[in-house]
Structure 1
Amino acid sequence: MSFIETYTPLLLSGLWATIRICFLATLLALPLGLGVTLLLRRPGRALPALARLYVEVMRGTPILVVLFLLYYGGPSIGLVLEAEPVGILGLGLYGAGYFAEIFRAGLQSIPQGQREAARMLGIPSWRILLRIELPQMLRLVTPPVINQIIVLIKESAALSIITVAELTKIGAQIANETFAVIEPYLAVALLYWLLIELIALAGHWLERKAKHG
């Protein structure tokens, strides 16, 4: 039986795990990143300072360190999770720091005059955010958001270190079983490339739709 026939189901299971984990991590990271961005805009010093600290820590810390802190350090503070939930939580927290900066830049690029005109008309701040700022921001940030999702997919390979059975871990498992290196890792690389190409194509479609919508 050929390598493809023998190991395709196992590789596909690893690919599905990668897709599932990255999808759930993105669902966590996007709203969390937006929440951090909104805290950065709050009046006062304490909340914006905490939000800025969070962004700087996440952007300045390797994902592997975040995963180790959650997986191995979590039990010491009562946080006991299986490897896959740790992967989702770690990628989500890590990605939120980057998404927060993307959203902040998108909001800052909206002309200040639009906000001032809306305030002069007596429109509440929350309505300005929902009706004026967020729709424009979403159109502006679509390309960098897609790029960051692609980065998260590639960063998810680090989850193999904490025993998550994602694509890279499966490739390593096959290499250990077969004593081959080229075939399993070429297959892993091809599957990552296909997944990222699909994400990029979806991003281009969303970008065109946003421009013409």
Structure 2
Amino acid sequence: MNWDILIRYAPALVGGFGVTIFCWLMGSAVGLAIGFAVALAAAVPSRALKAVLRVYVEVLRGTPFLMQLFILYSGGPAIGLRLSATTAGIVGLGLYSSAYYSEIFRAGFAAVPRGQIEAAMSVGMAPIDILARVRLPIALVAAAPPIINTLIVMSKETVVLSIITVPELMYQMQTMAAETFTAFDAIFAMAVFYWCLVEVVSRLGRRVEERATAFLASR
């Protein structure tokens, strides 16, 4: 392990890690928002809408993220869509993860006991109140563990963004390895950065799950 090289490239690696976290957080926010909207729309009694949403989910889940990223970044200009590498990376992560989040939210809504919904209807609650005060809290509690797990998985998917020249951690690591011929040192540094990120998310996730379980038990 060459510590002199690691120290020399530390600013670039830290900067790349910052870009990684930014893309991951923004992409996750986009994915959660779209996934939640898709899950809500799937509850609308329309076969045509359900079919469209099912195709959306299955196409995004059934094709590699790398292929989707290339289509968005390299194929976008063909239809007038010109995005910077970072923007394309964020949008790509958001769209790709939204398919998984939509299924997580769908399963969360399905976990709401039918009896509680019927009880809310029997006392005259409006559909929007039933959603906000009955269905949504229980669904979010049920969805918390898989959401945390998907967040962790998506944090590691950010390495693919280096393919379209997003200056994230993998990109900086490849630059360091190419310039110094110290591939092991670069890979080791990247592994430490990702391990720290996953460890932080895991610990925060366990806290969220504990609070969610306590909330569910108190109802």
The bucket for the TM-score relative to the shorter chain is over 0.9
Secondary structure of 2:167's counterpart equals: coil
Superposed CA offset, 1:50-72 (max 9, x none): 11111111111111011001101
8 A Cα contact 1:40 1:49, kept in partner? no
Superposed CA offset, 1:43-98 (max 9, x none): 12111111111111111111101100110110111110100000000000000000
Structure-to-structure mapping, 1:89-108, within 5 angstroms: 89-108=91-110
Q: Take 1:53 and 1:116, find their aligned partners in 2: how far apart are those partners?
A: 31
Q: Take 2:96 and 2:152, find their aligned partners in 1: how far apart are those partners?
A: 14
- 1:135 alignment partner in structure 2: 137
Superposed CA offset, 1:93-140 (max 9, x none): 000000000011111011111112222222111111111011111111
Percent pairwise identity: 44
8 A Cα contact 2:73 2:88, kept in partner? yes
Superposed CA offset, 1:21-44 (max 9, x none): 000011111111000001111112
Is residue 10 of structure 2 the alignment partner of residue 12 of structure 1? no
Secondary structure of 2:124's counterpart equals: coil
Out of 207, 212, 215, the residue aligned to residue 205 of structure 1 is 207
Which amino acid is the alignment partner of residue 162 of structure 1? I
* Structure-2-length-normalised TM-score: 0.94
Q: Take 2:214 and 2:118, find their aligned partners in 1: how far apart are those partners?
A: 26
- 2:122 alignment partner in structure 1: 120
Structure-to-structure mapping, 1:160-199, within 5 angstroms: 160-199=162-201
Shift of 1:211: 2.2
Q: Take 1:127 and 1:79, find their aligned partners in 2: how far apart are those partners?
A: 39
8 A Cα contact 2:6 2:185, kept in partner? no
| Root mean square deviation, CA, Å | 1.1
Which 4+ runs in 1 deviate beyond 6 A?
Answer: none
Q: Take 2:151 and 2:88, find their aligned partners in 1: how far apart are those partners?
A: 18
* Structure-1-length-normalised TM-score: 0.97
Structure 2: stretches of 5+ with no match in the other structure: none
Out of 78, 97, 110, the residue aligned to residue 76 of structure 1 is 78
- 1:34 alignment partner in structure 2: 36
- 1:87 alignment partner in structure 2: 89
Which amino acid is the alignment partner of residue 186 of structure 1? F
Number of aligned positions between the proteins: 213
Structure 1: stretches of 5+ with no match in the other structure: none
